[in-house]
Structure formats: C-alpha cells, structure tokens
Amino acid sequence: MEFCRLGSNKLIPLRARLIFATHQDLGKLVADGRFRQDLFYRINVMRIDAPPLQERTEDIPWIARISCASMGNYFKSR
C-alpha cells in the first residue's frame, strides 16, 4: 500500500494495519460536526459490523485461550 501526504504527490510505501472499534455512529457524528470528516473518510475503508461480546458469550473461552497463550509467549521470551 502507498499513500501521499496531504498536499504532496509523492507516493510513500506503507506496511501497516489499523483497526478501529467504536460503539458510536461515526457517520452521525460527522454529520453533527463532532467527528472529523477527513479522518472518517480515511478510516472508513472497510467496515465490519460485529455484535457485542455479551451477545456471543460462546466466543469468550476461545478469546481467553488465545489471549493467555499470547501473553504466555510474550512473557516467556523476556
């Protein structure tokens, strides 16, 4: 992926993944002038709507196992 800085035509390579999560309706906040339109445009590339964890309690053991394993590996390597 490449991007241009605002006001520039020079392409700069980028290797990053950004994930944003909110319970707010950002489109409504933009319309109300409470969230920056330019930032919303940049982050609203691919939208994934997921139900809250309280509505999918069957996922909790899996998330706990993955988190514990990840933290164990992190602290084991220190």
Structure confidence at residue 7 as a pLDDT band (50, 70, 90): very high
Per-residue model confidence as pLDDT tens digits over 26-45: 999 999 999 999 999 988 88
Sign of CA dihedral 70, 71, 75, 78: positive
pLDDT of residue 37: 96
Q: What are phi and psi of 36, to 5 degrees?
A: -65, 125
Q: What is the pTM (predicted TM-score) of this model?
A: 0.51
- Report the C-alpha gap between 46 and 38 in whole angstroms: 15
Contact 67, 75 (CB under 8 A): no
Q: Does position 17 have pLDDT exceeding 90, yes or no?
A: no
- Rounded alpha-carbon distances, angstroms, from residue 59 to 19, 23, 71: 20, 19, 18
User: Which residue type does 37 have?
Assistant: Q
